[in-house]
Structure 1
Amino acid sequence: MELWISRNQCQSGHLVPTLPETSLLVALSGRPCNLGPDGDVGKPIGIFDSGLGGLTVARAIAGAVPAENLVYLGDTARVPYGTRSAKTVVKYAIACAERLLRFDIKLLVVACNTASGVALTALQDRLDIPVIGVIQPGARAGVMATRTGRIGILATAGTVASGAYERAIHAENQAINVFARPAPLFVPLAEEGWVAGEVPRLAAHRYLRPLVEVDVDTIVLGCTHYPLLSETIHQVAAELLGHEVTIVDSAEATATTLSETLDLAATPDRAAGSLEILVTDLPGQFGAAASRFLGKSVGALDIQVIDL
């Protein structure tokens, strides 16, 4: 199984191509970036999403640049963004960004596919720090991974309808064939921890069949919830296709972009960074669900409830 990860090898030992060691962040953030270990030591990286899913991005970034301090904001009182108008999503995204700016962040990651597709430009124009989303890194990674030029996208209905991944992929290579399909049940399955077994496999069969019919060789996970189901998605896709398929995790691609373009990983003498979690509402079982997304235990006392 090939996954885009922040290191040069995946767990299976297969080599995984890395993103080019050029200043991708300049192109992705819309402004020059002068970040480095000297001038910004201690300043955190801000990350926001409409809910839980962006914690997979926080997890990937923490793995790629473990010395960095992270502040994560989940706008859980207004989740999901996918059902909102573009104007409303932009308003919510600006509110999240302005709240994170109070932490003197040096960079903002929009860890929400809906907000990345709708509000990224508005945030880049408004803020004086680099702002990147998860769509362009995932799209770029998909283009680099495909061998046949046939890429499938699994995402929420809102992200699929926006055409954001198609635009991002075609900006890299207009010759690529892109086939986007909604996979809405993957979100509640991930939040409930049903990531393996009969139920997620049945859902994967249903969502992957249209991609199998067009014989994709690469599938981009276009929702930050979906990495929790990546093993099941890969297994079912390989079974249905009859050949190997590359799974591109946009969260990991985003983390790789950060680590390679900013060289933030080149700070071996620094202590491990911290992660602060903010939410706009604390629903029941949030701590348990957050622990699944982060891959480590998160207690209720570790989460701060705020107003925007």
Structure 2
Amino acid sequence: MQANAPIGVIDSGVGGLTVAKEIMRLLPHEKLIYIGDNARCPYGPRPQAEVRKYTWQMARALMGKNIKLLVIACNTATAATLDSLQKQLPIPVIGVIFPGARAAMKASHDSQIAVLGTEGTVKSGAYEHALKSLKSSCQITQLACPKFVPLVESDEYEGEFARNMVRETLAPLKAEAFDTVILGCTHYPLLQRFIEKEVGPSVTVLSSAAETAKDVENHLRFQHMLAETGHKPVHKFYTSGSMAIFRSIIEKWLAIEHPDVRQIKFL
């Protein structure tokens, strides 16, 4: 495997672009190949067996492109598939749940943490397990936000409609005590400013993206697999859904002009 081989990033849709953005910022010489399974998004309400099947399809597609490391930039897919991918693939595989939990424990003053996630992530208990492994006495409040992913996928995450949906969804948190919120879905950072307004200025709202990017850097550095300095990467983006919406979000969120966007189909 060559050091200049690409990093693979997979997600149920556009949410993983928040992780890709942090990897690109931290490791500007690395080439990314991204697959968003927009056609079958959201993964949150799906059975775990189905999520595992779809995640493996994306992983196999990227293995065929000779990636050197795989990032599961989807919390639902991480909860369902991380262990099997790590055991069976010959390359490092990094998920987003433990980095998110680690970032929250660093940020929290009172170990009172709220987790916003998909139905699948919340039901899996993966964040609760990760947080408790770091501090067994931490207090955890979890809230499923099933409307958030379709909102982001439809490119409607910036207006008044999005603001009102966030307010309505987070209403149950008004009665809970917490000082830190984990955005336990990689789509949710695109709604972060609305979420921050609802929980108030005394609460830290964070995603797993930056911590996941640090894990990617650490793995590659340890294995002496960082891309050469001066290497100018051209990233590739694949979607199983609408190329127009996918391209629009890439252009806005990653500030890439004329991104290389391609269609991918799974049998």
User: How high is the TM-score relative to the length of structure 1?
Assistant: 0.78
After TM superposition, list the pairs within 5 Å mapping 1:231-270 onto structure 2: 231-238=193-200, 244-260=202-218, 262-263=220-221, 269-270=229-230
Shift of 1:47: 0.7
Q: Is contact 1:66-1:265 (8 Å) kept? A: no
Q: Is contact 1:201-1:236 (8 Å) kept? A: no
Q: 1:74 aligns with which of 31, 36, 39?
A: 36
Shift of 1:46: 0.6
Change (3 A) 1:178 1:295: farther
- Greater mean alpha carbon deviation, residues 262-271 or residues 189-198: 262-271
Please, what is the CA RMSD of the aligned residues?
2.3
After TM superposition, list the pairs within 5 Å mapping 1:77-96 onto structure 2: 77-96=39-58
Corresponding residue of 1:227: 189
- Alignment deviations for residues 67-104 of structure 1 (CA, whole Å, 9 cap, x no partner): 00111111233222223222222222222111101121
Shift of 1:207: 3.1
Shift of 1:261: 5.0
Q: Secondary structure at the match of 1:272?
A: coil
Corresponding residue of 2:79: 117
- Provide the C-alpha distance between the structure 2 equivalents of 1:122 and 1:291, rounded to a whole number of angstroms: 33
Unmatched 5+ stretches in structure 2: none
- Provide the C-alpha distance between the structure 1 equivalents of 2:97 and 2:217, rounded to a whole number of angstroms: 17
Q: Is contact 1:46-1:107 (8 Å) kept? A: yes
Q: Is contact 2:68-2:91 (8 Å) kept? A: yes
Shift of 1:137: 0.6
Is residue 103 of structure 2 the alignment partner of residue 145 of structure 1?
Answer: no
Corresponding residue of 1:170: 132
- Provide the C-alpha distance between the structure 2 equivalents of 1:274 and 1:161, rounded to a whole number of angstroms: 38
- Provide the C-alpha distance between the structure 1 equivalents of 2:219 and 2:128, rounded to a whole number of angstroms: 24
Q: Identity rate of aligned residues, in percent?
A: 39
Change (3 A) 1:261 1:128: closer
- Provide the C-alpha distance between the structure 1 equivalents of 2:146 and 2:41, rounded to a whole number of angstroms: 14
Corresponding residue of 1:61: 23
- Provide the C-alpha distance between the structure 2 equivalents of 1:285 and 1:196, rounded to a whole number of angstroms: 14
- Provide the C-alpha distance between the structure 1 equivalents of 2:207 and 2:255, rounded to a whole number of angstroms: 16
Q: 1:277 aligns with which of 216, 230, 237?
A: 237
Is residue 250 of structure 2 the alignment partner of residue 290 of structure 1?
Answer: yes
Q: Is contact 1:93-1:119 (8 Å) kept? A: yes
- Provide the C-alpha distance between the structure 1 equivalents of 2:180 and 2:71, rounded to a whole number of angstroms: 25
Change (3 A) 1:89 1:196: closer
Q: Which amino acid aligns with 1:254?
A: T
- Provide the C-alpha distance between the structure 2 equivalents of 1:208 and 1:133, rounded to a whole number of angstroms: 26
- The structure in which a higher percent of residues are helix is 2
- Provide the C-alpha distance between the structure 2 equivalents of 1:196 and 1:81, rounded to a whole number of angstroms: 22
Change (3 A) 1:117 1:259: same
- Provide the C-alpha distance between the structure 2 equivalents of 1:71 and 1:228, rounded to a whole number of angstroms: 21
Shift of 1:217: 0.5
Q: Is contact 2:46-2:120 (8 Å) kept? A: no
Shift of 1:200: 2.9
- Provide the C-alpha distance between the structure 2 equivalents of 1:267 and 1:80, rounded to a whole number of angstroms: 33
Q: Is contact 1:59-1:295 (8 Å) kept? A: no
Q: Secondary structure at the match of 1:119?
A: helix
Length, aligned pairs only: 264
Corresponding residue of 2:264: 306
Shift of 1:259: 2.6
User: How high is the TM-score relative to the length of structure 2?
Assistant: 0.89
- Alignment deviations for residues 124-177 of structure 1 (CA, whole Å, 9 cap, x no partner): 111011101111110111111110110011112222122221111112111111
Q: Which amino acid aligns with 1:257?
A: D
- Provide the C-alpha distance between the structure 2 equivalents of 1:197 and 1:82, rounded to a whole number of angstroms: 24
Q: Secondary structure at the match of 1:303?
A: strand
Q: Which amino acid aligns with 1:157?
A: E
- Provide the C-alpha distance between the structure 2 equivalents of 1:64 and 1:47, rounded to a whole number of angstroms: 15
Q: Is contact 1:154-1:181 (8 Å) kept? A: yes
